[in-house]
Amino acid sequence: MGSTVNQSPEREEFAKPESRFKSLLKRMIRNKSSLIGACILIFFLLIAAFAPFLMTHDPNSTDVLNDFQGPSSENWFGTDHNGRDIFSRIIYGTHLTLYVGTVSVAVGAVFGIVLGLLAGYYGRILDSIIMRVADVLLAFPGILLALAIVSALGPSLNNVIIALAIYNIPVFARITRGSVLEVKDVEYIQAVRALGAKDAKILFQHLLPNVSSPIIVQASLQVATSILSAAGLSFLGLGVQPPTPEWGAMLNSGRSYMWDNPHLTLFPGIALVLVVLGFNMLGDGLRDALDPRSKK
């Protein structure tokens, strides 16, 4: 009498593949540069978000009897030539600095990406026109081009954003065009085109996601450049106008007294360096994390 053995097919378990975002996040955490940069930026984002609760004084309140005071328990970073609390002015100016940098890059990226997609996909005359205009704009150093635009429009926060956005347009257009030229003739794009997909769908649903990596990296690096340019314009008196606390304007107002009272320029300068350093380190980490050649 034989016994029958019921053999059930073995169930093979496969690990669920990680999402692209989760994989990118893990790679960035392992990258010390991007981790430090992200921590610096999160620190300043929190300062900008909770600025009203962190300020110890009114940033525009003057007290001429307490001007040029050094760092103390009452005024952590000292006071300027008008007796205003430097710590509170730096805290207040954080959101201005981040706002100008991110908005100018975002506006420039939107127009630049669209122009780059059109130039790379259609080519020929349209490509020549867009790229020649971009070459003309890129022939000028960024700060000089922004200086010329702000001089024509007038000194103000919005005009600084417009000037920096105009400079950022050809940067993103050139990067996007180069990436599109590399992938527009690959098999899956040809297949989508053969199925009758419209150009708009090919551009924004198929090409753009596949060329986004260098754009993201450039955006993080470009924010640092825009912040420096905005501070430079304010330092020259063409950016945010007094008494609004902005780091570049604070450097300008304190440079006449920096030898006798170095705290007037020291603390705004350190804040500016840290923010730019944070964006640059984050950009370097993103470049390593998004580079397919570095994946194991």
CA dihedral 26, 32, 36, 37 (to 10 degrees): -80
Name the pLDDT band for 43 (thresholds 50, 70, 90). Answer: very high
Architecture per CATH, domain 31-60+78-291, reads as Orthogonal Bundle (1.10)
Q: What mean pLDDT comes out for the span 33-48? A: 91
> CB-based contacts of 265: which residues, under 8 Å, 6+ apart?
250, 251, 254, 255, 258
Is 245's pLDDT higher than 90?
A: no
Q: In this predicted model, what pLDDT tens digit does every residue of 256-290 receive, in sequence order?
A: 888 888 999 999 999 999 999 999 998 888 887 77
Which uninterrupted H or E stretch holds 157?
Answer: helix 157-183
> CB-based contacts of 43: which residues, under 8 Å, 6+ apart?
none
Measured between alpha carbons, how far is 9 from 39 in angstroms, rounded to an integer?
50
With contact defined as beta carbons under 8 Å apart, do 272 and 247 qualify? yes
Measured between alpha carbons, how far is 296 from 290 in angstroms, rounded to an integer?
12
How long is the chain?
Answer: 296
Name the pLDDT band for 15 (thresholds 50, 70, 90). Answer: very low
Instruction: State the pTM of this model.
Output: 0.85
> CB-based contacts of 21: which residues, under 8 Å, 6+ apart?
none
The pLDDT of residue 16 is 52
The pLDDT of residue 296 is 46
The pLDDT of residue 1 is 46
Among candidate residues 164, 155, 166, the one with its CA nearest the CA of residue 244 = 155
Residue ranges of domains in the chain? 31-60+78-291
SS3 85: strand
